[in-house]
């Protein structure tokens, strides 16, 4: 009887250890934020303008190296309400409200370093209902209780079946420079 009890206790101990092992990385290596900053830089001849938002949501999970960011495109502001309206129309935000990136971290990072570390991620960027594989370079810096992420990349509107709007005789440039910065907190 006593031997059976000992076996059961051992099994319980093993199960508890396994449970802790299975969930520990998730809680220890996952970072998230919903107040990141993102900018879409657009150009037309003679001037350029920026659509920016401070509700960039993202998660980086160092356990499985997944990287997931998205932005509600209707939160973008360009400083000109007519332009905001035109932008939403061009991007058809009623139908496709999000721009999102989902991929994986291709670089290894050292969580003990406090300096910015260059990283590369690859994955799918989706906007206007169209997904394309992209590679993004950026930096990742471990700060107190979190990680600061900075990245910048370029997309072409044609690749996402977006017709560049015209401003009188000028057409908005195909090239859109997207930059983001976000401090993600450890979960």
Partner 1 sequence: MKKVLLPFLLLMLILAVVPDAKAQIPRERSGSAAVVEELFWAPSIILQPSSTQIDKGNLDFTIQHAFGLVSRGVKNLYGLDDPANIRFGLDYGVRDWLSAGIGRSRFDKTFDGRIKLRLTSDPALRTNVFVNAAVETPEDGRSFEHRMSYFSGLLLSRKISEKLFVQVMPAWSHFNLVDINKLPDASIEAGENDHFILGVAARYELSEQVSALLDYMPVLGNRSDNTNNVVSIGMDFEAGGHVFQMFFTSTQWITPQHAISESQRSISDGDLGFGFNIHRMFGSSTR
Considering the rule CB under 8 A, would residue 12 count as an interface residue with partner 1?
A: yes
Query: 3-class SS at 98?
Result: strand
Considering the rule CB under 8 A, would residue 26 count as an interface residue with partner 1?
A: yes
Considering the rule CB under 8 A, would residue 132 count as an interface residue with partner 1?
A: no
The H helix count followed by the E strand count for the chain is 2, 10
**End-to-end CA, the chain:** 44
Report the distance separating Cα 11 and Cα 5, nearest Å. Answer: 10
Considering the rule CB under 8 A, would residue 107 count as an interface residue with partner 1?
A: no
Considering the rule CB under 8 A, would residue 152 count as an interface residue with partner 1?
A: no
Considering the rule CB under 8 A, would residue 32 count as an interface residue with partner 1?
A: yes
Residue 131 buriedness (CB in 10 A; 0-12 / 13-18 / 19+): middle
* List of residues 6+ apart from 137 with CB closer than 8 A: 118, 119, 120, 151, 152, 153
Considering the rule CB under 8 A, would residue 52 count as an interface residue with partner 1?
A: yes
Please identify, using beta-carbon distances, which residue of 12 and 113 lies nearer to partner 1.
Answer: 12
Please identify, using beta-carbon distances, which residue of 116 and 167 lies nearer to partner 1.
Answer: 167
Q: Which residues bind partner 1 (CB under 8 A)?
A: 4, 7-8, 11-12, 14-15, 18-19, 21-23, 25-26, 32, 44, 47-53, 55, 57, 59, 61, 63-64, 66, 68, 70-72, 74-75, 77-86, 97-98, 100, 102, 104, 165-168, 170
């Amino acid at each position: 009887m006593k031997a059976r009890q000992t076996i059961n206790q051992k099994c319980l101990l093993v199960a508890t250890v396994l449970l802790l092992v299975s969930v520990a990385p998730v809680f220890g290596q996952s970072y998230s934020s919903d107040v990141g900053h993102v900018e879409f830089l657009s150009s037309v001849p003679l001037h350029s303008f920026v659509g920016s938002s401070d509700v960039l949501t993202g998660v980086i999970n160092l356990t499985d190296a997944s990287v997931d960011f998205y932005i509600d495109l209707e939160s973008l502001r360009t400083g000109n309400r007519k332009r905001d309206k035109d932008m939403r129309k061009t991007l058809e935000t009623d139908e496709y409200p999000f721009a999102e990136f989902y991929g994986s971290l291709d670089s290894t990072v050292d969580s003990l370093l406090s300096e910015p570390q260059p990283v590369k991620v690859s994955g799918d960027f989706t906007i206007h209902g169209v997904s394309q594989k992209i590679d993004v370079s950026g930096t990742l810096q471990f700060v107190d209780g979190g990680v600061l992420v900075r990245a910048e990349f370029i997309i072409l509107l044609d690749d996402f079946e977006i017709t560049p709007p015209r401003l009188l005789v000028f057409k908005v440039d195909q090239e859109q420079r997207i930059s983001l910065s976000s401090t993600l907190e450890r979960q």
